[in-house]
Amino acid sequence: MTREELFGQIRQKKSYLCIGLDTDIQRIPKHLLQKEDPVFEFNRQIIDATRDLCVAYKPNIAFYESLGAAGWESLAKTLAYIPSGHFTIADAKRGDIGNTSGLYARAFFDTLNFDAVTVAPYMGVDSVKPFLEFEDKWVILLALTSNQGSNDFQMTPQENGQPLFEKVMRRAMEWGSPEQLMFVVGATHPEKFQEIRAIAPEHFLLVPGVGAQGGNLESLSRYGLNEMGGLLVNSSRGIIYAGSGTDFAEQARTAALTVQQEMARLLT
């Protein structure tokens, strides 16, 4: 999916919601465990209930690979079921020496046909470049994450006083354009969005941490939105586990609708 196509989806749906399919077989409603593929059945119903309210889906790969071959099959079926107009993100956080990164890129872009994959930048340019060589595919680089441990390294001041995450962003912008490179910026750091937009005014930002992790949508949107949108705000547990009974999909839709309606207001 191209940048312009993604912007078009945001404008059409008045939404920049990404729904994280962090599907834990130990948390899904018990009645689904009778199904042949409980994980896919859960995802299918979530997608049916929310497809008109979001522009992207983001399976976290750990929830699938923890189940072995069956999990990878559930993931492949889920991807095939997601409507073609939605942006798909493999939340895999890969990144290794060049030839290994090339194989990771082939796995997620060619074999599974995701639109984007999250990548860890710690090993530098040769670990990221292989992901940038695929046409109309995206690298979503970890910059300032939403977890508590983000302060351990990402906020460490460098020689000129700028925190490490800023150095990562500025260097990575030399590797890829706004047409193929996004940054992960956690919603739990709303005070940083103004300076992040000053560094990267045109790049998309993938923003986790809204919902269960406590991020505030209005605060981050005030400075994170650009003139064409430019944000994908992810909510996982707050939507997909909004209910735990037989009406879990309806409860997920209600939760997603609440977020989408606020996004529509913030986009005007």
How would you classify the pairing of strands 231-235 and 17-21? parallel
Q: What are phi and psi of 22, to 5 degrees?
A: -90, 70
Rounded to a whole number, what is the distance in angstroms from the first to the last CA of the chain? 25
Contacts 24+ apart (CB under 8 A), 192-196: 192/144, 193/219, 193/220, 193/222, 193/223, 193/224, 194/223, 195/166, 196/143, 196/144, 196/169, 196/223, 196/224
Q: Is 77 a catalytic residue?
A: no
Q: What are phi and psi of 246, to 5 degrees?
A: -65, -20
DSSP 34: G
Question: Which residues are within 8 A (CB) of 14 and not within 5 positions of it... i.e. 6 or more apart?
Answer: 260, 263, 264, 267
Residue 126's CB is within 10 A of a number of other CB atoms, namely 12
Catalytic site residue from 35, 58, 77, 93 = 93
Calpha distance 192→212 (Å, rounded)? 20
How far from 227 is each of 181, 199, 224, CA to CA, in Å? 18, 15, 10
Six token digits for residue 87: 């942006």
Catalytic positions, please? Answer: 93
